[in-house]
Structure 1
């Protein structure tokens, strides 16, 4: 939970669905576009075109409202509106990106409504025309001053504004009743687009009118019950305003020719029975919309700043007064709105707002889609009328309309979102709240596991799934590091630790051991998973891990284990090797003389990582070949090791001992064919000798690493096996003994 998500944020929440959501949504939707631009929409698009525009816009906002309702009833909604909902679903990256964009959209909307108010004022008082920019600036300043004082009184007076709006519409309908002409309607059925205009450009002009569906959600921190108020208030406002716009399209198309509808921004006032009410309606609607956006924008910025997504915005997260007003954020909102006011072109501002709002809607729909499709048990919305298919349709619809309106603006908006997303991801900001990204990954992994389980296995798809018995990884990191080198980018590594003792006595310690492994993995930047088991004896723990760890196709096929330092441990070690071989697991025994495996930290001493853990010596990677049984896995492991950037300068040699000179050419040719079939670049080395230990130690004395094959000892032969392998390795510092369980082939 973020710093802003405290009980303090809710102690002043007091508005219900009608006052807190329906009224601000309705007033924002029935605003400047309806009074000053909808006549132009009908005049250019025609009756049928304007109906299509209204229905298309309402379809998108209805789908988005359904998604908004579902997601708002699935979580405890705090302040921040759409930003809060998206960030808590899609994660901090999408949340931060959309928070910035949505805040800008709301701030720019203030300018659009202020310009609309100014147009109406100048039309009523023509003497103000030369000073229209100053008038708009004063109105913008007055709007800011109202919000700076506090939002409570603004919401209370909205009922009166709604009454004025209702009176204005009534005046228009009464005036149109005596002027409606079927002939004019028929002339206006078809579109009459001006040069450079088309259906989508007019749609872009109209769409900001219906973006008011977020006006209620933006006030989520001031609602008594957001989960109850947002669905009812938003959907109610969408339905009521849809009927009003459809009726207006029909009436306007029948009362004035298209030329007048296009040219006269105040055609509704000329038609109305009492024109003064239309003027009052314009003033009331535009001012209330400006106030609504000016109230919403700072709250979005405040929530974003409190979440500390962008440290440079932290200043704007402060709250003022008993009602926690976002006054610092309001100042920035005013500055942005004023810059747009100085631009002064309503038609230029509208497409920008359209793109910002539509990409917000698309992500809100996408958030709801992913919440539903991932089948996350935590997704339990009380609003039951939204299906994942509707959310997906809403997201696709938003994206399609963005591209059709203006592909350049659409691509630019997406690039901006992607850039902000990438910046947040690059900074590796960790959210202090849960999101559905884990659910998306889980569902994808679940499906992939089931699909993998259903597929028949082929040696071509063999990958190293290594279970590294790392014990105290902090003190003996080399096994973990070699496991990382052998699997990075190719397989899966699990660092395993067996804690000897009774489960009941050590259950709590198990979690601390696993946390230590996680800390080691994070510190060393390994791509690995930790696991800890408690067992009476090490062999029992290894047996449990090998049999039970992993799922489906991700069960370990290779066990990486350290080579014992003394012959006294040979018997138990040999028994472990037999067990692993019997369980059909490949075995890698790492004999790393520079890794002090027997050094345990003193009681209470903090374990520290070895400084030389990632050291890669110069020299070759030597594979001592004795046949395909173990040789295939050894050569493949050498290849995987060589794929690591730090090992690429270490060439691979395949060495074989033969008893006489006659066999040299034949064996060399065999190794060359092996290289061709396996597509691995190797250097063949054939040595004539009868003393393998001496030859191995002499030929590989400068090697960075050598791999030797072995077979698990039979019962009773453990010590002689240990001595034999130890004699082969001699004093060489880095040796991997390999016993292959099969499952792979070099030719695949």
Structure 2
């Protein structure tokens, strides 16, 4: 039998993929997960290599018989009972563990009879009892209801009705309520499109718009929650001081209302009282939060019940007001009062909100929108509790939308009731009108308001640290590492940080100033949720299948626009500041973060945009004005690089030189010799290493790895299939094989010539780099000239490459010289004028030099260079003659025609001499004019048909002899530059 942790069931060998022992009948419903990726778990143990689930319990006798009947791995073709699913033995069978792992749910590892010698099953270990899950009412509706019906409703809403009037107050409620309703629709669609983890809106936005947007909006939402905590704390303290004025340490009484003496002096809480009591309450709530979620859940009902009681008392008091309990300023429900309070009465107020002509606050419709909006927030309370819900797919949409509609209806009805209940002066002076009119015990309303606002504050101080910890645990921003917590632990450091932010806002001591700040952060978050819904709905990816069907991208777009509109209504400067803060966080995450691929909607948008752009390019050739070089760069064409070096270091530098200001695409390709089935895993690893190297070199490119029996076969496959439509590579970049003779690599000439011929057949341009080791990087500035030896028509590719080189920092100080090779009977002056006119029409600045081939013999100052070229020429002649002699002897011995590289060839010795002599003259000319050039570009001669590849390599060696840095260029059958605008 195998021992526990034995890897023989599941073995991954380098280059040979995975070996798997199939499931047999004696395993009694053992289901194996054979598709585990070992590379993804850094701390995996031996037992994780072969996870097995026992779906049944056997008796000891059955287990013993199972042991005896199990075959050993060492016996080949041993007799064993075949499983009914033997055909699928190499695949992962469907089981509950695999299905749960798709949602990220953790399951306890189970044991298998094959894991160890002791096959006994522990029947005493009982499964852990599931924690109590909440339904729609308790888990979503009531928490949202409690957060929405909070501070603003109890101590500011009647004042807002008095200031805005009934008409504009209805508009304010409808505007803000519509915003939250549309956001709830988007939230419902996103939340029901899969399992949710911790983080609430941060998790939803991050998985929809990407980690950068998710973190930037998530941090703003965290700040909104932290600041709203101070809003609720100040609301509770203000209610307490109004209910018990004697508790104030600093007395403040207002005797004038709107410039006239008040009938009764109005007591107002002092700023210092709000600060002192606010800090004490914040610290006390923080200690409760430190106690953990269990304590918070126990005390939550104590904060929830007073909200419901207070609302009932307020509505009973409104219905009975003026009938059995007359009071100053309260008329009861009266149509005349309704008419008087219909229009707005915006005024200046003092810090206590009392109308004062000399007051510093000048209220308007926009200001009231900013003050009221936090009253309708709280729709995220249900999504924040997703882990505690029985059915998130049903509870979140139903509970959130129900809470939004119910609370919006309460606010709309309350506008009419408050506007019909009291005269405007009473609405202005009595901020706790809700407590004044409550029945039967108004004093209890103060307790209810205090407890409800403290409950909302507790929710904020509980949710904000967990949101910050969720962002920190994603390990995107290194600066947030101090707030990371282990699973199941309390975020104590995040709680302390949140408490300090809350206390800092409490010190401001003015609820009317804090409320617009909270509004901005919430609106930014809601806009992110709506944009997420809009993007996902518009893209309609295959994975977009929300259970909540009542949604449309137009609703999400309208919700996002409404959020932005409200932000600008409140304060355009504050809106710009909020967006700038979110943008700075986004930029910081993009710069310093370690964002991974979360499958966000932007990736889907990029995919669809790429498909649409590709289709719009069509199948026709791109116009020369729109032509971009798309180089296909071979990283390891001739070997001789260490195994851990995926690409020649200078190839990435050269690839960057072929793009103007980084625009364009490059493809780095490498060929791995071998069988695809055996080398598939090695190819994946090598491709990943190549991608990492390209990123390290800051080169915008794509890495590809091909497994082929030989380099020639691999190149032929790549050059035929790489790319899509007009995004196929159009230039093949390869290093010149300078080492082939020194290393005695006799197979290189045939491969080299084959690559060139394949490129010609596939209509690809070719750029062969000689002297790649000395190619400058972006910091090595070059001086001198870029010399072009323009011999054949190449569609202007050589001219375009020279211009692209000039756009780089390393070559920007160079000038371009164009050398035209004139035949002996050509008019050099006319040729030079024509070339100059052509370059002028192409908007290219270059010096033109016309060289006649006959002038090479008459140069007086080129004796040394001539001797160098002649020496190389003589050596090439000897090698070619020796090779030709061997070919003839072998042909005569075998009685076969002249053969080279396994193919019949035709050799005319006079033609060979002519080729050598032409190459000699060109090399000598290059050495005479361009020995000190920064880089030389020369046309690539095509391999002669039915010519020995060895001879062609001799011609090329003679051409590049003693030239330190050379680009050998061959264009293709089209123009890449144009004269026309």
Provide TM-score, normalisation by structure 2: 0.70
Match of 2:761 among 570, 582, 601: 582
Moved more, 721-730 or 700-709: 721-730
Distance 1:562 1:14, change over 3 A: same
Moved more, 12-21 or 208-217: 12-21
The match for 2:34 is none
Question: Aligned equivalents of 2:292 and 2:754: distance in 1?
Answer: 77
Distance 1:188 1:562, change over 3 A: same
The match for 1:482 is 654
Indicate the SS of the match to 1:377: coil
Deviation at 1:681, TM superposition (A): 1.9
Distance 1:36 1:654, change over 3 A: same
The match for 1:738 is 969
> Contact conserved, 1:92 with 1:429, CA < 8 A, in 2?
no
Distance 1:373 1:455, change over 3 A: farther
Q: State yes or no: 1:290 paired with 2:457.
A: yes
| Structure 1 residues 102-151: Cα deviation after superposition (integer angstroms, max 9, x where no partner) | 22211111111111111211121111233533333332232222222233
Question: Aligned equivalents of 1:81 and 1:363: distance in 2?
Answer: 13
Mapping 1:224-235, distance limit 5 Å: 224-235=390-401
Mapping 1:439-458, distance limit 5 Å: 439-453=604-618, 457-458=622-623
Indicate the SS of the match to 1:679: coil
Distance 1:428 1:624, change over 3 A: farther
The match for 1:670 is 834
Distance 1:476 1:456, change over 3 A: closer
Indicate the SS of the match to 1:429: coil
Higher share of residues assigned helix: 1
The match for 1:217 is 383
Distance 1:715 1:503, change over 3 A: farther
Deviation at 1:182, TM superposition (A): 0.8
Question: Aligned equivalents of 2:483 and 2:751: distance in 1?
Answer: 65
Distance 1:560 1:317, change over 3 A: closer
Deviation at 1:468, TM superposition (A): 1.8
The match for 2:434 is 268
Distance 1:743 1:225, change over 3 A: farther
> Contact conserved, 2:795 with 2:976, CA < 8 A, in 1?
no
Q: State yes or no: 1:353 paired with 2:584.
A: no
The match for 2:806 is 642
> Contact conserved, 1:479 with 1:590, CA < 8 A, in 2?
no
The match for 1:171 is 313
Count of residue correspondences = 730
Question: Aligned equivalents of 2:772 and 2:575: distance in 1?
Answer: 61
Question: Aligned equivalents of 1:594 and 1:292: distance in 2?
Answer: 64
Indicate the SS of the match to 1:205: helix
Question: Aligned equivalents of 2:629 and 2:373: distance in 1?
Answer: 55
Q: State yes or no: 1:199 paired with 2:365.
A: yes
The match for 1:684 is 848
> Contact conserved, 1:19 with 1:159, CA < 8 A, in 2?
no
Mapping 1:333-732, distance limit 5 Å: 333-431=498-596, 433-453=598-618, 457-471=622-636, 474=646, 476-487=648-659, 489-565=662-738, 569-592=748-771, 594=773, 618-627=783-792, 629-630=793-794, 632-658=796-822, 663-690=827-854, 691=856, 692-693=921-922, 694-719=924-949, 720-732=951-963
Deviation at 1:688, TM superposition (A): 4.1
Deviation at 1:723, TM superposition (A): 3.8
Distance 1:252 1:145, change over 3 A: same
Moved more, 32-41 or 82-91: 82-91
The match for 1:254 is 420
Indicate the SS of the match to 1:295: helix
| Structure 1 residues 234-288: Cα deviation after superposition (integer angstroms, max 9, x where no partner) | 2121111111111111111111122221221022222233223432331232121
The match for 1:600 is none
> Contact conserved, 2:237 with 2:277, CA < 8 A, in 1?
yes
> Contact conserved, 2:646 with 2:686, CA < 8 A, in 1?
no
Q: State yes or no: 1:747 paired with 2:926.
A: no
Indicate the SS of the match to 2:633: strand
Question: Aligned equivalents of 1:319 and 1:561: distance in 2?
Answer: 51
> Contact conserved, 2:306 with 2:451, CA < 8 A, in 1?
yes
> Contact conserved, 1:578 with 1:714, CA < 8 A, in 2?
no
Indicate the SS of the match to 1:213: coil
Indicate the SS of the match to 1:747: coil
| Structure 1 residues 515-561: Cα deviation after superposition (integer angstroms, max 9, x where no partner) | 33223323333222111223334333222211211012101112223
Match of 2:297 among 126, 141, 155: 155
| Structure 1 residues 308-338: Cα deviation after superposition (integer angstroms, max 9, x where no partner) | 3343432333369xx6332332222222222
| Structure 1 residues 581-628: Cα deviation after superposition (integer angstroms, max 9, x where no partner) | 122212222333758xxxxxxxxxxxxxx998996764321111225x
The match for 2:56 is none
> Contact conserved, 2:631 with 2:729, CA < 8 A, in 1?
yes
The match for 2:409 is 243
Question: Aligned equivalents of 2:772 and 2:556: distance in 1?
Answer: 60
Moved more, 65-74 or 565-574: 565-574
Deviation at 1:156, TM superposition (A): 4.2
The match for 1:606 is none
Deviation at 1:650, TM superposition (A): 2.5
Question: Aligned equivalents of 1:614 and 1:241: distance in 2?
Answer: 64
Question: Aligned equivalents of 1:139 and 1:107: distance in 2?
Answer: 14
Moved more, 115-124 or 189-198: 189-198
Mapping 1:117-136, distance limit 5 Å: 117-130=236-249, 132-133=273-274, 134-136=276-278
Mapping 1:75-154, distance limit 5 Å: 75-130=194-249, 132-133=273-274, 134-154=276-296
Deviation at 1:23, TM superposition (A): 1.6
Moved more, 185-194 or 132-141: 132-141
Q: State yes or no: 1:299 paired with 2:466.
A: yes
Deviation at 1:653, TM superposition (A): 1.0
| Structure 1 residues 70-127: Cα deviation after superposition (integer angstroms, max 9, x where no partner) | 2222243222222222223322222222232222211111111111111211121111
Deviation at 1:25, TM superposition (A): 1.3
Deviation at 1:572, TM superposition (A): 4.6
Indicate the SS of the match to 1:309: coil
Deviation at 1:434, TM superposition (A): 4.3
Deviation at 1:206, TM superposition (A): 0.7
Distance 1:577 1:314, change over 3 A: closer
Question: Aligned equivalents of 1:45 and 1:123: distance in 2?
Answer: 24
Moved more, 275-284 or 460-469: 275-284
Question: Aligned equivalents of 1:46 and 1:474: distance in 2?
Answer: 73
Question: Aligned equivalents of 2:472 and 2:548: distance in 1?
Answer: 30
> Contact conserved, 2:303 with 2:454, CA < 8 A, in 1?
no
Distance 1:309 1:584, change over 3 A: closer
Deviation at 1:659, TM superposition (A): 5.5
Distance 1:534 1:333, change over 3 A: closer
Distance 1:468 1:285, change over 3 A: same
Indicate the SS of the match to 1:706: strand
Question: Aligned equivalents of 1:476 and 1:303: distance in 2?
Answer: 42
Question: Aligned equivalents of 1:503 and 1:319: distance in 2?
Answer: 43
Question: Aligned equivalents of 2:794 and 2:493: distance in 1?
Answer: 70
Question: Aligned equivalents of 2:786 and 2:152: distance in 1?
Answer: 74
Indicate the SS of the match to 1:556: coil
Deviation at 1:294, TM superposition (A): 1.5
Question: Aligned equivalents of 1:35 and 1:455: distance in 2?
Answer: 69
